[in-house]
Each structure stands twice: as structure tokens, then as C-alpha cells.
Structure 1
């Protein structure tokens, strides 16, 4: 759809104003092209004809009205009792500051279709306006803050000094299949808890990310927390291990308790094998006790783990105690080295906001970097930048990143995952009775390792 086609549709409609199919084609085109005012002018001139629209057509018309900042018109075009229409009417009522009516309509919509649950919209429905006054440099500023809790001052501070932007899947190059798994198993239960509760599916659980170093396991964990809009607890080994007997177990329990209080929350354990290694290899009873405590916290027998997600990452899944990988504790997800498309996306991410020559092709670089991990690609870009900076300082003129600098960098930066693939191939070849390394074998077979 383009603007010329939209103009043709409007001309045709003006010749036959009663053609509702044509009217809806214009509405959808205006939504796609963000020509909201054009669509609003047509809808505002309709009288009885809008009552004959289907629920789906009414929903599209209401979306256009809301995008065009015309909530009154949205209420007049969206009259059906379909749950989608009810949610859109609730949004229009909220825009008009008719909050109680909006809450009632939204609740009615969820009773009919719980899949329409929207936690962000619910937060807006429950928000309240708080008047704040800030003085500084001889000026007084009056702010109207929307707060969701009783603590108004912290909310104001958050708005004046917002936290760092969370990491999301957009910041992770490639791994589309794994992202889809995580969305299905983790993110949707957090975002749509009502429908999952109807099917007795809980939000939370455990995911063990394993694969070669530098391929995005830690970044993927942070992005998962960002997508869930959940509190993120990154646990270092030093946060748990203690020289005194019983202290490590106590610290681990405290971490889980804090995360439960902050639910929905994500706890991330990097290098999981350091605290969850196979118990038969431990010569000290204290280490075995720590593994047992970890398993106890995962099962949550004495506590409610609803809304608590535990993510683990390891380069050595063969060293993790098998009890962690039974169903209901950790689901194993193989994070492979990036393929060509993923490498191209990773390179583009690392080149962002750097001076880059027009002739530089991320696609060509991706083709030339087979076997590189994400960390290797980052190192490659940084090394090429070093050469570009040296050349700029030598010539006295800023030199952008070119393919020549990358060709020089490729002579220094080598892939670092080959040793892991060799080790993983040995374990997958002789210790795969239950199929836990099928993903690894499939990857090795596909790439001729």
C-alpha cells in the first residue's frame, strides 16, 4: 500500500459513498500509512452506516480513531459487544479520563476472552495522578505524575531520572528459534497469566542455556528479563560460595527469597556447573549440600515459585548434576554459534553509531567469518576500529571503517569455539542415551564437524 493507491481509493469512495467495503479499505490503508487525519475525516462524516460494520471492521475503525487522538469518535464507531471492541472502548474511555467505566469494560472483555489481557494497559487503568512541585534555579515547575503505587516520590524520581534501557530481543542478533521457544515457554505466561492459569500452566520455571562460550547465553538471559519486564537478579558465584559450613546454602536461600518478593522476577546463574556440578565428583559434603539446597529452592515445596523464572547458563552441560535437568526444573536449550544471517545481524549491531564507509558490506563480513562466535565478532569489530583509529591519527583525517581494515583484523582475530565443538562432539557421541545432546549432534552434522 502506498499514498497513490490511498488517493485512488478515496476518489472511488467519493463517487460511491455507500460502499462500506471501500470505506474499510481506506481505514486500513490509513492505519498502515499513518494517515490518521484522512481516515478520521471520512469516519466523522458517516451516520447510520457504521452500525452495519462487523466487529472486526469496528475494531479497525476504533484503532484509527485512537491513533488519531479522537476517543469520542472511537466510542461512536465501536459499539459491538465483541471482546476486542470492548477493550478498544475501554482504551477510549481511559483517554477521556472515565477510568471506572474503562476498568469495568476491560474486566468484561477479559471474562469473555482472557487472551486479550494486557498488563501495561492494566497498569494505566490503575494509575493515579499525583501533583508534584519541583523548585530549582529560581523556578518552580509543576509536574503531573502518573503513579502506580503509594510511594509518589520514588515514582517522580524514576521519571526524572529513568533507569537504563532494558535489553530486549532486538539487541540479540540471530537465535530466532530460541527466542521463539523462550516467548512460548516464558514470556507469554508472564504477559498473559490469566489464560495460562485456566490451563493450569504456571508462569516461571527453569531454562538451562548451554553452548560454546561467547554465543549470547548471558545476553539472551538479560533480554528475556527485559521482554518479561521482570526484575533481573544476576548471581555471581562469589555471591553464594562461602568458606563457612551452611553459609552458602543460607545465601542461596536468601537470593531466592528476595526474587520471590520481587516477582515477576528472573534469577540468572552463569557458569551453573560451579554450584550445580555432579555430586558424585564432590569430595566435600558441603558442596553436595549446596546442590541439594538448590534443587529444593527450584521445586519450591515450602514457597510459591509462581512468577519466578530461573535461568542458568553453562559451557559444560556434561558437568551439571543430572537432577537439574529432570522435567519441571530446567529445560535444556542449546545456544549454537551464529549462522550467516545471525552473524550479519550481530555485525550490524556492533557497527551501529560508528563511522562506516558506504562500501562496507556486513553480508560479506558474515560470509567471511564462519565459525565465529558473537564475542569473536565483537572482537573483530573492535580490532578493525583500532586500525581505523591508527590510520586516522596517522593521516590527520578521520577514516571510516572499511573492508580493508576488516581484512587486516581478520588476520589477527580467529574463532575461539573449535575446542568446545570438539569436546561437545565427544560427549554427544558417547553419552547421548537419553537424547540430551541431539541438538549438538544435529549442529555438528549439519556443519560437517
Structure 2
């Protein structure tokens, strides 16, 4: 608890300092209390007798240097800036600026933020004349698209395949799922002659289902990467249009462009938004869009030209049964929450190239995160990074991401797959006549989720 010093006590401290002028802790105490009661101009005189060579503690050096700078005595400030710390360089920057030497100030500022990015100060950069473009190399580039013709711009965006290639190496865990995809999807692309010999079709529709955040979209992109195929990532907003008939035209355009650029993978995220059960739709336009979707799938079943249609859903029980017939989305793959080995693998991928402490115990973290999806684990890492950044700002030096940061984040983040598994359990037990949810039942039996 901080003791509040009154005028009488301060006078006693000043008298004691006169007897022991070399007592540095007493000098600093008198300075602080005098500043609180009378302001910097009167308080600074209690530090004027302090010799820089007598101050060996870096924190004390900075306190005294900042005091002289605040008092408008930059030359005295320099005498106490003896260390080579980021905070010292930042103080020297402000000192040189006060002396009218912006170029020297800029040098010290760059040294400070290179050593500790937590010290970056946009207001100070403006005073130093550091332009925004001098920091742009480390920032993501933003692509601005003029919205002069919405229809043309949107159509081009929809039919443009994703440029960045992702492979299975970028997907943590899911080894069994990867084996299924390799067998059912990748091999037909790699050995088309063999499959044609056995009259086995190449392409068609595959539905990925499971709890949210478990990597369905990333797995779809990785599948396209493994097949060396172009990847078209289609979302609901890409298709739906307020004008009658436009949504169907957009959907048809997507399929046509994919066929023209084969080998290609079309991926429909949250496909239930487009292919939901028609009996629940009140609008005829929604029913027409479902019918158009089915028509496109039927066309591809007969003449797909090496185009694979992938879709994902968190609610497979909401998909219109017509989508699951042979020749459409007749191959279903369950994407479960990651197991312990997969969770550790995911954490390693998420922490790659991050400023972390050596020898983090990710195995113990993976052990206590049962039921966490990949997205949940990413949330843990991002929360831990927020804590590390906060510590960096508080300490004014770059702090590495530590085990303590991760453990603290674990207290704030909860698993999000539990609700999904509860709903899926009911469907798997009571609405599984066709065997659609056999994989879900196997997963729950293995992991004791009854």
C-alpha cells in the first residue's frame, strides 16, 4: 500500500536528504512526493545533485532521465541514458526531438521498435515524419475493387479459382479422413486410366459433415491441392440474388466455368443453405434453386470432365434427401473433432513462426483439450497471443509466448463441439435407417460419448 506523504512529512524527508545527499532511494522518494505536491519544476531540484555514474540500476536511470526531459532539460536527460535497452532508445528519440534533431531521433526510434515492437507509437512517428509506407512491407496488402458494375465484379470473383495452394501437410491430424479422401478422390485423379478400365467414375459429389470448426473447408482446399486441381470456394452470398432467376444463372455459371477449367474442385460451404429440405421452404424461389442444383449435379454425373463437387455442412439432417441419391452427394465423409495427437499437431501448426518460448509442453495442452475443434484451438492460441502482447506493452519489451499464456487462455476458451455431438447423437440413435450416421456412432462409441 502506497503511503500518502503530506507537507510536514515531505519537509522531514528533504531535511534527511540534506544530511545524506548520496542516498539515491531517498532522492527519488523526495522527487516523486515533491512532484505530486508541487509539480515538476520544483521537484527536479531534488535530483540536480545526482551523478549519473552513481546510478547503476537501469530503471532508476530511466526514471531520472524522464524527469529531466519532462522538466525541459534534454541535455541532462542524455547523461542518464547510458544503457542499450529499447526503452532507453525511445527516450533518446524524444530527447533528440526536443533538441531539434529529428534525424538522430529517427535513428533511435527505429532501434527501439526493432528491438521491441511493443514500443511503436504512431503519434511519435507523425512528429518524426515517418511515412506510413515505411512500415508497409510487414503489413498485408489490401486489394481494392471498384464497385462500378456489381454484376460483372461479383461474377468474376465467383468464377475465379483460389490461387493459394493448400495440401494435406497444412491440415493437422485427421489421418483416417485423409486416407478415405486419398482412396475415394485423389487416386481417381492420379490414375484416371485405371479407373476408366473398371468403369469407375472420376469426379461427382462428396459431402463433408461434422461439428463446426473441425477443418472441413481447409480439408476441401487441401484435397484440391493434392489433386493439383483449381479450387472454387462458393458461399451462399456468392449465389443468392434478389432478382428472380438470377441465383439459378449464377449457380449454372459456376458449374460451367469449373467444367471449362478442369481439373477443378467446386466447394460449397454450408450447403444446407442452398440444398436444404424443400418441404421446409416457404418460397418457390428456394425450391427452384434446389432443383437447379440437382440438375447441375445430374449433368456432372453423366459428363463431369474431371470436376469434383465438394460440400460441407454442420447439419446433415437438414439436407434434402434428393441430394444424397446415387450420382449426387452419394459419398459422405464424417469430419470428427481432432483426437489428442491431432490436437498437438494442430497446435504446432498454429504456433509455427510465432515468437514462442522454447520447449513449450504442447502435449499436456493437447491432453486437456478433449472436445476442442481446430477453431477452438486457434482461439486458444489467439487469446494467448493477446495476453503476450499485453505483457509486451506493459513491460515495454517483446515478450515470448509462454506456457503460462497458453494455460491462462485455456481458462477463457471453451469447447464448441459438445452441443453438436449432443444433437448428432440423437439423430444417430433414432434416425439412422439408411446408415448415414454410422461413422458418428462409431466415433461416439470409441470416445465414450453416449
TM-score range, shorter chain: 0.5 to 0.7
The runs of 5 or more residues in structure 2 that have no matched partner are: 1-161
* 3-state DSSP of counterpart to 1:300: helix
Matched residues in 2 for 1:385 and 1:445: separation?
36
Query: In the alignment, is the contact (CA less than 8 A) between 2:255 and 2:296 conserved in 1?
Result: yes
Task: Check 1:175–1:302 CA distance in 2 against 1; reply closer, same or farther (3 A cut).
Answer: closer
Query: In the alignment, is the contact (CA less than 8 A) between 1:359 and 1:402 conserved in 2?
Result: no
Matched residues in 2 for 1:277 and 1:165: separation?
30
Name which structure has the greater RCO, CA cutoff 8 Å, separation 6+.
Answer: 2
**How big is the shift at 1:304?**
2.1
Q: Are 1:184 and 2:172 an aligned pair?
A: no
Matched residues in 2 for 1:326 and 1:231: separation?
26
Matched residues in 1 for 2:203 and 2:301: separation?
16
* 3-state DSSP of counterpart to 2:208: strand
* 3-state DSSP of counterpart to 1:352: coil
* 3-state DSSP of counterpart to 1:187: helix
Q: What is the CA deviation profile of residues 389-423 of structure 1, one whole-angstrom value per residue up to 9, with x for unaligned ones?
A: 22222223322222111111111011111111111
Query: In the alignment, is the contact (CA less than 8 A) between 2:301 and 2:327 conserved in 1?
Result: no
Task: Check 1:165–1:255 CA distance in 2 against 1; reply closer, same or farther (3 A cut).
Answer: closer
Show the counterpart of 1:212: 211
* 3-state DSSP of counterpart to 2:223: helix
**How big is the shift at 1:202?**
2.5
**How big is the shift at 1:244?**
2.5
> Runs of at least 4 residues of structure 1 off by over 3 A?
none
Query: In the alignment, is the contact (CA less than 8 A) between 1:173 and 1:345 conserved in 2?
Result: yes
Q: Find the structure with the greater CA-based Rg.
A: 2
Q: Are 1:353 and 2:353 an aligned pair?
A: yes
User: Normalized per residue, which structure has more strand?
Assistant: 1
Matched residues in 2 for 1:248 and 1:358: separation?
52
Query: In the alignment, is the contact (CA less than 8 A) between 2:166 and 2:222 conserved in 1?
Result: yes
* 3-state DSSP of counterpart to 2:311: strand
Show the counterpart of 1:333: 333
> May I ask how many residue pairs the two structures share in their alignment?
287
Matched residues in 1 for 2:254 and 2:397: separation?
52
Matched residues in 2 for 1:346 and 1:358: separation?
17
Show the counterpart of 2:304: 305
Task: Check 1:173–1:302 CA distance in 2 against 1; reply closer, same or farther (3 A cut).
Answer: closer
Query: In the alignment, is the contact (CA less than 8 A) between 1:360 and 1:401 conserved in 2?
Result: no
Matched residues in 1 for 2:262 and 2:254: separation?
12
**How big is the shift at 1:387?**
1.1
**How big is the shift at 1:165?**
4.5
Query: In the alignment, is the contact (CA less than 8 A) between 2:204 and 2:300 conserved in 1?
Result: no
Task: Check 1:290–1:358 CA distance in 2 against 1; reply closer, same or farther (3 A cut).
Answer: same
* 3-state DSSP of counterpart to 1:398: coil
Show the counterpart of 2:413: 413
Query: In the alignment, is the contact (CA less than 8 A) between 2:203 and 2:307 conserved in 1?
Result: yes
Q: How does 1:71-82 map to 2 (within 5 A)?
A: none
Query: In the alignment, is the contact (CA less than 8 A) between 1:241 and 1:248 conserved in 2?
Result: yes
* 3-state DSSP of counterpart to 2:355: coil
* 3-state DSSP of counterpart to 1:313: strand
**How big is the shift at 1:242?**
2.0
The runs of 5 or more residues in structure 1 that have no matched partner are: 1-162
Query: In the alignment, is the contact (CA less than 8 A) between 1:235 and 1:269 conserved in 2?
Result: yes
Q: Are 1:272 and 2:288 an aligned pair?
A: no
Matched residues in 1 for 2:414 and 2:232: separation?
33
* 3-state DSSP of counterpart to 1:422: helix
Q: How does 1:259-408 map to 2 (within 5 A)?
A: 259-300=258-299, 304-330=303-329, 331-408=331-408
Query: In the alignment, is the contact (CA less than 8 A) between 1:202 and 1:307 conserved in 2?
Result: no
Matched residues in 2 for 1:264 and 1:252: separation?
18
**How big is the shift at 1:302?**
9.7
Matched residues in 1 for 2:222 and 2:337: separation?
18
**How big is the shift at 1:448?**
2.2
Show the counterpart of 1:255: 254
**How big is the shift at 1:303?**
6.7
Matched residues in 1 for 2:253 and 2:163: separation?
26
Query: In the alignment, is the contact (CA less than 8 A) between 1:202 and 1:306 conserved in 2?
Result: no
**How big is the shift at 1:164?**
5.5
Matched residues in 2 for 1:308 and 1:260: separation?
6
Q: How does 1:15-94 map to 2 (within 5 A)?
A: none
Matched residues in 2 for 1:165 and 1:352: separation?
18
Show the counterpart of 2:32: none
Matched residues in 2 for 1:447 and 1:423: separation?
16
* 3-state DSSP of counterpart to 2:205: strand
Matched residues in 2 for 1:238 and 1:398: separation?
41
Q: How does 1:224-263 map to 2 (within 5 A)?
A: 224-263=223-262
* 3-state DSSP of counterpart to 2:308: strand
CA RMSD of aligned residues (A): 1.6
* 3-state DSSP of counterpart to 2:226: helix
**How big is the shift at 1:198?**
1.5
* 3-state DSSP of counterpart to 1:201: coil
